[in-house]
Chains A and B, each alone.
Chain A
């Protein structure tokens, strides 16, 4: 028994080491391939934007690390690149907005304390999106103290346009100190001490401030070269970078001079995160995979955005926590909402497991039952089941999915055709979420179960036929064991073993079915993520998701091997030896 446990431990250790080495080698190979393709994201950008100067292109490539050889990029991707966190300087770009007159800050004692852009390396602003929103947002921001969100379209440091929310903190007119940091906003910029005090001393004159100024204040470029290039345009500015990589730009007194303001921008550098950065979603790949907000559904909001009840959304941007903190709810209601929130945000991996694990279990049960039935009955039943399994395994998973969607979702309208749950369901409580998730999961799980059982039935059938012909079965029948006992004791365990082995071996190809199913059903799992990443040329995401699915497949086949050893102790190096000697002696 001890030697068996030891052999299993040894197997697990060896396989884990092999798997890690394989994934490492694979990631290196993928980077090498990517490096030799023409057209990195910056090159694509240059092709689409004639405004960019060669100097900008060089700078962008340097910022992104694309000027490095691929092994350096691979290493940075693997471990994270922390040198980039604190650039030596930053600069305010000239505002691109047209001056919006009349939307200003006329006659009010308001102080703009800090502005935050929750995006890395913003280098410029192209427009506010939509202009009406900017106007309204700016007016709101200027009307009331507190945290307010504006929306703008900026150029990030990949040179791609992205809508960002700019959070503007407005201090009450009669308070000198900046407002306390909002919950969920760990990166609120602290003034470095001198300016606000200074401002406090000269706050008598009413200030007229336009949208353009506020927005321009938010748009800071985190590249030292720009200071050199554009310093002349903004004399007198001071750039402060703290240890967190928060860049603030100070330009004189924020209240008295309409041409001066204090602002800060968070520069959370993508390279600082291991696993890289998603170009398409402007977020770290890690967050995309393991963060919960990727599955908030349609009601994802920017972190820090104020909820209706005045709370700020949690760091994941889900407003479940908002409701949870609502003082109007009873503790039970809050717990219910918390569970509902957790159930709606299982993450990409959780969503994929939610499909694959039940369907794999179902497929194994069904194929065990059908295979044993076909093998025992023989004749027409056997032929029908075998042929049916052949047809099912010859049907592409996406075609099964299409047929089922057309029948059950579109014709009969019994089940939803795509997605994981309807938006906002988490507000109805945990039970509603479970029901909703189950309803959405039925069709994909049926597709996968069919797809996989089609492949397993044949194997079970031949294993059962072999087991039925064994001496053990003949002996058991001879001594009068019931047929059910024969099946249960001698046949099914012997058929289960090859099935477990087969499942382990065929996991690599089974994963494809999950990917196709997720794609057809718009199921936000790993497969769907990878498909989207590939279509959007989001190479880091594609690589990471591929490696992750490979890791899951490796883990699954290891699991199958361990299970096979537990079912049949003869398997394994030691066991094989015993088996051989026993076989020859008997």
Chain B
């Protein structure tokens, strides 16, 4: 057990606070008596006040409430996409390692091919092919999650395959095989549990990348669409007012940075822990 550094502790606090606020976003909204979605053109660009803790944006929507709803989108997208990608990656990697032969070659070639493609252009093309008009938050988030996880499972797959092949070659696994243990049992008992720690670290590190990718897509107008707030599309719509009303543009950007740095620090802490456990 290595203790967390002060920075890592701060990261945990930031993430916990953001998650709690995001979870309670409707409650906060109700308490303040503001709306994240209803335009209020009489109170555009309002300064910070009791009614609007961070002021309002170019449509008179409450900035604080929008940031909280944006946090929901970012955190859920980042975590869920990482989870889905990890599931796909573990499945592909385990299949390749256990099956071997042609299956292994085909799966790994596919993985390498996808890994070699430019990620953001790929996402852009894919999101253009996507025709569903996602108007609700859930639909918008699910769409991004699907896009991101389809194109980000490759790292986990390679890691899992390498790890699983290593496990399968160990003496006690050979012995288990010789004793007649079934393949599912070997995978369940001897391979999967030992593959998971590095995979979990990798998944955590991918959460940050997913949040960045979601914000980039939304910034380009191909991700979460404006009635639904996301940090990326808030930045996009604040482009024109960057000079006249800096907080509208700065705050979503700073939120992205703080979240991604925190996730990264957390991932590092987790990796150190896993590395120490192995030593």
A interface list, Cβ under 8 A from B: 19, 22, 25-26, 30, 33-34, 37-39, 387, 390-391, 393-399, 402-403, 405-406, 410-411, 507-509, 511-512, 515-516, 519, 527, 530-531, 534-535, 537, 539, 542-543, 545-546, 549-550, 553-554, 557
Contacts and interface: CB of A to CB of B under 8 A. Distances in A.
Interface in B200-216: 208-209, 212-213, 215-216
Nearest to A391: B261
8 contacts: A396-B215, A402-B239, A508-B115, A509-B120, A512-B119, A512-B121, A530-B124, A553-B116
A549 B118 contact: yes
Given A390-B264, A516-B216, A519-B220, A508 B119 contact: yes
B125 A394 contact: no
Interface stretch (B34-42, B93-101, B171-179, B249-257): B249-257
A100 B171 CA distance: 94
B24 interface: no
B114 to A, nearest CB: 9
A5 to B, nearest CB: 25
Nearest to A515: B120
Contact of A535 (B116, B213, B221, B235): B221
A397 B256 CA distance: 12
Given A394-B261, A395-B257, A549 B121 contact: yes
A506 B67 CA distance: 31
Given A403-B253, A509-B209, A516-B216, 5 more contacts: A396-B253, A512-B120, A530-B124, A534-B127, A557-B116
Contacts of B219: 396, 398, 516
Given A22-B116, A535-B221, A394 B242 contact: no
B81 interface: no
A521 B257 CA distance: 21
Given A396-B219, A516-B216, A509 B125 contact: no
Interface in B91-133: 113, 115-122, 124-125, 127-129, 131
Contacts of B221: 535
A199 B277 CA distance: 97
A38 B221 CA distance: 22
Contacts of B215: 396
Contacts of B167: none
Q: Interface size class for chain B?
A: 35 or more
Contacts of B208: 394
B265 interface: yes
B73 interface: no
User: Most chain-B Cβ atoms within 10 A of its Cβ — which of A30, A402, A531, A550?
Assistant: A402
Contacts of B7: 387
Contacts, number: 121
Contacts of A507: 118
B222 interface: yes
Contacts of A509: 118-120, 209
Contact of B257 (A394, A411, A527, A545): A394
A508 B117 contact: yes
A534 B215 CA distance: 18
B125 A542 contact: yes
A515 B121 contact: yes
Contacts of B25: none
Contact of B120 (A393, A511, A539): A511
Contacts of A397: 216
A534 B113 contact: no
B46 interface: no
A280 B130 CA distance: 20
Contacts of A553: 116-118
Nearest to B249: A402
Contacts of A549: 118, 121
Contact of B121 (A25, A530, A537): A530
A30 B125 contact: yes
Given A37-B129, A394-B264, A406-B242, A26 B257 contact: no
A393 B117 CA distance: 21
B243 interface: yes
Nearest to B208: A394
Interface string B223-245: 00000000010010001001100
Nearest to A392: B257
Residue from B7, B212, B215, B222 whose CB has the most chain A CB atoms within 10 Å: B212
Interface in B259-279: 260-261, 264-265
A398 B125 contact: no
Contacts of A543: 125
A419 B222 CA distance: 23
Given A395-B256, A399-B253, A546 B122 contact: yes
Interface in B11-46: none
Contacts of A395: 253, 256-257, 260
Contacts of A393: 264
A406 B219 CA distance: 17
Contacts of A34: 129
Nearest to B231: A396
B236 to A, nearest CB: 9
Shortest Cβ-Cβ A-B pairs, 9 listed? A512-B120, A394-B260, A511-B118, A399-B253, A534-B128, A394-B261, A508-B118, A395-B257, A553-B118
Most buried by A among B113, B115, B215: B113
Nearest to A22: B113
A531 B124 contact: yes
Contacts of B222: 534
Contacts of A554: 116
A402 B116 contact: no
Contact of A550 (B117, B232, B253, B260): B117
B116 A537 contact: no
Contacts of B246: 406
Contacts of B216: 396-398, 512, 516
A25 B112 CA distance: 14
Contacts of B131: 37-39
Contact of B256 (A396, A527, A539): A396
Contact of A410 (B113, B115, B243, B253): B243
A399 B119 contact: no
A566 B260 CA distance: 36
A534 B123 CA distance: 11
A111 to B, nearest CB: 50
A534 B249 CA distance: 25
Nearest to A537: B128
B65 to A, nearest CB: 21
Contacts of A19: 116
B121 A402 contact: no
